[in-house]
Each structure stands twice: as structure tokens, then as C-alpha cells.
Amino acid sequence: MPLQSYPELRVWRAAFDLAVDSHCLAGRPPSTERYTLGAQIRRASASVPASIAEGYWRSQRGDYLRHLSVAAGSLKELETHLPLARALDYIDSTTTDPLLRGAASVGRMLTRLQRSLRAQ
């Protein structure tokens, strides 16, 4: 049975959950960083499911693939910000490690979806 909406996509649900978890930790850095690194974490994490959703509704496969590429780029941005926050001692590895594992999982799902769309 074909999917009726993007929330049915496992990759979108996983990316959405990752964004929620990332938003929760984005307020942990000191107040001097909350509106810089924290904001970048929030924006990058929110961009992943948003780009997946936007691409899902595009009428051209190429547009969908382009939005999935944007989602993957935002994911890589998040995967850079999290270790940076850890290296600066704003958050610890017990916080970042599960998020990085989740990001890796989302990345694998994005790659599989892109390959599937290219093969059609």
C-alpha cells in the first residue's frame, strides 16, 4: 500500500524525534552560547524532517532528491555541532552519544531512500 503522507515515512519520524531531542539539549550551553551554538543545533535539527517533508510533496523526483540532499546536509551540520558542544564542555558524551547514534541511523535511512528513488 503506498504511503499517503510524509509522517508515515520512518526516516521522517526518526528525524523528527532527533530534532525534538536536539532541541531539548540546545538550551544546555551557557547563556553566552544559547543563541549561537544552541540556535544552530535547533535550526540544523529542525531542517532535517522539514526538508524530508517538503521534498515528499514535490511533484518531480529530482526535487524530492534535492530536498533529501538538503536534509542530509543539515544532518551533517548537526553531527558537527554536537561534538563541538561536547568539546567545549557544554554537554557531555552521555547526552551527545545517543543523538549521534540517532543521526547516523537517520543518515543511513536517507541514503537508502535516495538510492531507492534514483533506481525508479
Write out the DSSP string of 9-54.
-HHHHHHHHHHHHHHHHHT-S-HHHHTTHHHHHHHHHHHHHHHHHH
Structural domains of the chain sorted by starting position, each given as residue range(s) with its CATH number in brackets:
6-119 (1.20.1440.60)
Q: How many CB atoms neighbour CB 16 within 10 A?
A: 21
d(CA 25, CA 39): 11
pLDDT tens for each residue of 101-110: 999 999 999 9
- Cα(68)–Cα(53) distance, rounded to whole angstroms? 9
- pTM value is 0.92
Could you give the percent of the chain with pLDDT greater than 90?
73
